[in-house]
Structure 1
Amino acid sequence: MTAPRIEDTLWTTFASHAKAIPEVKAILAPDREPLLFRDLPARMMEVRDALNGFGIGRGDIVVGVLPGGPETAVCLVGVAACAAYFPLDPNLTEGELTRYLRRINPKAVIVAEGEAQSARRAADGLGIMTIDLIARTDQPSGTFKLESRSSAQCDLPGWGTEADTALYIATSGTTSDHKLIPRKQRHMIAQARAAVTHFRFTTADLGLLIMPLFHGHGMEQALTVPLLAGSGIVCPPVFEIRTFFENLARFRPTWYSAGFSHHSAILDAAGDYPKIVENNNLRYIRSGSGRLDPRVIVGLETTFGVPVIEGLGMSEVPCVTCNPLPPAKRKPGTVGIALDGNVEIMDDRGQLLGPNSEGQIVVRGSMVFEGYLEDPAATAAALVDGWYHTGDLGCLDDEGYLTIVGRIKELINRGGEKIRPGEVEVALMQHSDVKEAAAFPFPHPTLGEIVGAAIVPVTGTAPDRKDLMRFLADKLAPYKIPRDFTVLESLPKGRTGKIDRTALTRMHTTPVKIPA
């Protein structure tokens, strides 16, 4: 089996798939009939016709405050094909939602019938139309209708073009300081075409969705890209360990993509499901949204018997690099090779560097975003001479494999000595009593900053601080060794699962001093 042709827009691609692979299952869910690629265009047309009837068309922003599941998946694809979809976490407070809505000024907010009261109040307070998504659970997965009391003339009805914005994604950060990224249809198409080659998608593939659909990783890498490639997706309403293994047995997916916290939880629970693990149908596991502990990689590969593929992605470029599948060379510790376009290393003067030189990772190509929404200053700083400046530090080896060494903004400045938190964390994680570790800047009266560290111990252990210091002495220069430690039950993390170092600095007001 092969992947069907990917056309130039979302609509033309799925309309083509309906003819080329009509009987292939597109959207699946527990205890529901699957939605076939043959029927997906009809569901998309229902979304388009409903939105056009509400006065919403090409270029208009529609916010989705929706739970997980097959209806949200189809709604996302349908809206993205004829307008612009911006998802928000249903767990946000009314105040947070109000700030988002005020900033992006959408035409409407879609909510599940009878749910999302905070979103309804936020929309009503700003005079924004509310649309109810009413799931039809007696029909195949992803079947629903959209209802609203409002109607208006639509200025730009029909399907979007390759130049139209399909999705909006918010960067990491607080509600007030995040940036909003328009993802055009052509960006999504370019990404899907690159993924077909890199991951060897065929119509026999089936993905198991784990990441939430208000997260860029979930929206693009785990949903729209494989659908555009002609592969089906299982869309459970939520991620739970028990149902993950049940779905692994029931649907027999060939891959899944997740963040490091999900992978760790899956590995921890795998021993409770030996038969399911032994009989799994996976051909690879994909990891994103942050660096995965090498011990978890080894554990997953040993447990499931398939490669774990790490890559680099971000809101501005959802998939920059990724390790290739066997039999191609996979290099542990790297995030692989470029999927599309160019990835280079640049110094502070804007000069490109050769192999094995450390500098800022820069990217250009057809998947790269074209600017932040209504933020010309941030756009000018990020896009320079055609290159997107990622803010990540890294180096390329002689074969083009990329290694990430840290974030420029996360460097700890200890009296002029620049320290990468990731380097400290890697060293700490090698200690047998440390399950998780995070390094962060801690204020110092004369040096400006010193290295602080928070650790989550392995269950049943109590790491000795002096032992940790001795352990690190063989792995780090003296100025890189943390002088302040704290032991936590869990590390503070943002909605994407990344460590919140700012929160660690804030909470670390009464550190336990460790002798130098």
Structure 2
Amino acid sequence: MTEATSQGIALALQARAQLTAPGAPFEVIECTDGDHAERRYRNAFPTLPALLAASRAHGDKPYIQYQGETWTFTRFFAEADAVASWLHKAGVCPGDRVAIAMRNRPEWGVAFVATALLGAIPAPLNSFGLREELHAALADLAPKVLFCDPERHARVAGDGAPDCVMVVTDSAPAGSESYAALAAQPAEPPPVADVGPDDPALILFTSGATSRAKGVLSTQRAVCQALFNIDFIGAVSGMSSPEAVAKIMARGLPPTTLTAVPLFHVSGLHAQLLNALRNGRRLVFTHRWDPATALDLIAEEKVTQFNGAPSMVLQLLAEPRFDDPAVTGNLGGLGFGGAGLPQRAIDEVLKRPQGDMSGIGFGLTESNGVGAAASGAVFRHAPRSSGLISPIIDLCIMDAEGNALPVGSMGEICLRGVTLMQGYWNDPDATAGAIRGGWFHTGDVGYVSDEGLLFVVDRIKDVINRSGEKIAAAEVESCLLQHPDLEEAAVFAMPDEGTGEAVAAAVVVREGRRLSEAELQAHVAAHLAGYKVPARIFIRQDALPRNPAGKLLKGDLKRACLSPTR
């Protein structure tokens, strides 16, 4: 730890106190909600319609760049007003669901905003979902309208199609409405939405890495408080990293983010689409994720920020052109979605100038992305942590019986606060299982340090119990990834008669390299205790299976590796 990084966390704590004090921009107030008091930002917008009304002030500034076309805020809101006007005439009212199923494109954002303007509930679907998955989500939602692109329409239409109006971008098939025609109509001002802070605002589906995805229902207040929290994180990062901020400001470039993460998750919707809309910032949409194409866009569009899953960031760093100042010289930071970064990712970022304002956070769909965050000097001070806990969230580390554990003790991370979901849509049993005594049980294992930093160790299901010794899969994965010839690694438990569970791993070797199971076991043995060395290592040619958000489908991988027919 250097004196500069140590000073960084001191400055972050000082900035946090200043920014949340009475009369400050991010003043935090305490309100009673049910049986407990919760903290809120006094100055956050109460509802999405109120936030959107303020965002119109950005006028003719560029908002979204997509396939060579620029959408200004003026154009974006003109189309949103036209679509909202049509939705109102079609009978969409506050509380009605409007589903969205399309790849990242400007029309996705228009459909979302038009729905929110009316106080209706946008419900983005996993655009990578196949017919059965999309039908299941639509049957659960019972939306009045579905906005989709031709590819998603082809998956949904026909037998089992939802009983709702379908609006299709590009060429609209017979029986559907044309998005282009609706957006081109003269817009009548949409009615002022009759919604309050406690009314429903959004349904987002969990990633469904291990089971069928569940719809997460959040209130207007929860979403708006979460969006304001993103601004708070930025303010703390700037105040605690003044030299890095000065370097970025000296370039004189407008803040521009390359958006490659799906908009149907909080990392894309909250932190990018809505954050940029609120603050007048520019987004560059990728048509599909490809690291080489992403570098082209970073250079051509003078991108200043890239946020993505750890696997996406590592792929970007592995590109030979990444270290060319002509390509990435304008990047001020790299953001990691998720937590528990492998050591190699940390090393790769910290040794590069683009890592000056890099960061990571911890949050879930169920908390609207709010939990903890670290950026700039705080990230450099403790890159293995997930940062400082948000001032509007309560975080408690609990044991298996639900008892609070002291600082430094490892247990399940539980959250409570204003940004927490109302519950899972149409699933009271799942809601009751996840929220107990007012606390949302995340299923993540971690601890809080003396400095107030959250460290996420692993998922509960990914902690391996070998003869009573608890082994974090993430620790072994990080060790494996230190081997220069490995591309990916995943660690999981496998049944063992002698120890109950044994450590197993699946790895992908870099193209053109060769490694044996014994060589990799020796590598782990040189760095970790003997009981943590994988008993089996499955060497794969194909990439590890992941969902559209970049989350590893460890259950699928484990079944494939341990299948008796293998």
Same fold (TM over 0.5): yes
Residue in 1 that maps onto 2:455: 403
Aligned residue among 138, 149, 153 for 1:116: 153
Larger deviation, residues 178-187 vs 284-293: 284-293
* Cα distance in 1 for residues equivalent to 2:527 and 2:565: 22
Aligned residue among 42, 59, 68 for 2:78: 42
* Cα distance in 1 for residues equivalent to 2:49 and 2:254: 22
* Cα distance in 2 for residues equivalent to 1:122 and 1:268: 45
Deviation of 1:259 after TM superposition, in Å, equals 0.7
Aligned residue among 211, 228, 238 for 1:193: 228
3-state SS of 2:377 partner: coil
Residue in 2 that maps onto 1:495: 548
Deviation of 1:218 after TM superposition, in Å, equals 1.4
Counterpart of 1:252, as a letter, is K
3-state SS of 2:80 partner: helix
* Cα distance in 1 for residues equivalent to 2:526 and 2:507: 19
Aligned residue among 294, 297, 315 for 2:343: 294
Residue in 1 that maps onto 2:169: 133
* Cα distance in 1 for residues equivalent to 2:535 and 2:565: 9
Deviation of 1:266 after TM superposition, in Å, equals 1.1
Residue 330 in 1 paired to residue 330 in 2?
no
Counterpart of 2:91, as a letter, is G
* Cα distance in 1 for residues equivalent to 2:380 and 2:353: 20
Residues 73, 235 of structure 1: 8 Å contact kept: no
TM-score, with length taken from structure 1: 0.86
* Cα distance in 1 for residues equivalent to 2:270 and 2:497: 45
Counterpart of 1:386, as a letter, is G
* Cα distance in 2 for residues equivalent to 1:263 and 1:159: 42
3-state SS of 2:117 partner: helix
> CA RMSD of the aligned region, Å?
3.2
* Cα distance in 1 for residues equivalent to 2:362 and 2:143: 31
Residue in 1 that maps onto 2:371: 320
Counterpart of 2:516, as a letter, is D
Deviation of 1:26 after TM superposition, in Å, equals 2.7
Deviation of 1:488 after TM superposition, in Å, equals 0.8
Deviation of 1:101 after TM superposition, in Å, equals 1.6
Deviation of 1:329 after TM superposition, in Å, equals 6.3
Aligned residue among 202, 205, 210 for 1:167: 202
TM-score, with length taken from structure 2: 0.79
Residues 442, 451 of structure 1: 8 Å contact kept: yes
* Cα distance in 2 for residues equivalent to 1:113 and 1:242: 27
Deviation of 1:377 after TM superposition, in Å, equals 2.2
String of CA shifts for 1:143-202, please: whole Å, max 9, x gaps: 95548xxxxxx9x98464433323211223269632210122222211121111211399
Residue 484 in 1 paired to residue 545 in 2?
no
String of CA shifts for 1:345-404, please: whole Å, max 9, x gaps: 122233322221111111122222121112222222222233221111101111111111
Aligned length: 494
Residue 18 in 1 paired to residue 52 in 2?
no
* Cα distance in 1 for residues equivalent to 2:510 and 2:209: 31
Distance 1:63-1:430 versus aligned 2 partners, 3 A rule: same
Residues 63, 110 of structure 1: 8 Å contact kept: yes
Residues 217, 289 of structure 1: 8 Å contact kept: no
Q: Give the fraction of aligned pairs with identical amino acids, expressed as a percent.
A: 28
* Cα distance in 1 for residues equivalent to 2:434 and 2:102: 31
String of CA shifts for 1:30-57, please: whole Å, max 9, x gaps: 4223312x55443332222111122222
* Cα distance in 1 for residues equivalent to 2:347 and 2:471: 27
String of CA shifts for 1:420-466, please: whole Å, max 9, x gaps: 21122122223333332111122334544322111122333322333
Aligned residue among 63, 68, 93 for 1:31: 68
Residue 95 in 1 paired to residue 148 in 2?
no
3-state SS of 1:237 partner: coil
Residue 232 in 1 paired to residue 267 in 2?
no
Aligned residue among 491, 494, 501 for 1:449: 501
Q: Which structure has the higher relative contact order (CA within 8 Å, separation 6+)? A: 2
Residues 81, 160 of structure 1: 8 Å contact kept: no
Unaligned runs of 5+ in 1: 137-142, 148-153
* Cα distance in 2 for residues equivalent to 1:260 and 1:512: 32
3-state SS of 1:354 partner: coil
* Cα distance in 1 for residues equivalent to 2:256 and 2:144: 34
Larger deviation, residues 411-420 vs 483-492: 411-420
3-state SS of 2:381 partner: coil
Residues 84, 168 of structure 1: 8 Å contact kept: yes
Unaligned runs of 5+ in 2: 1-24, 27-42, 173-178, 184-189, 239-248
Residue in 1 that maps onto 2:361: 311
Show the 5 A alignment for 1:229-378.
229-271=279-321, 274-278=324-328, 280-307=329-356, 308-317=358-367, 318-326=369-377, 330-339=381-390, 340-378=392-430
Residues 29, 234 of structure 1: 8 Å contact kept: yes
Residue 414 in 1 paired to residue 466 in 2?
yes
String of CA shifts for 1:458-510, please: whole Å, max 9, x gaps: 33332233333333334434333211111012222223222222122211237
Distance 1:159-1:43 versus aligned 2 partners, 3 A rule: farther
Larger deviation, residues 238-247 vs 389-398: 238-247
Residue in 2 that maps onto 1:179: 214
String of CA shifts for 1:299-348, please: whole Å, max 9, x gaps: 24444533320111211121311113337863111111123322231222
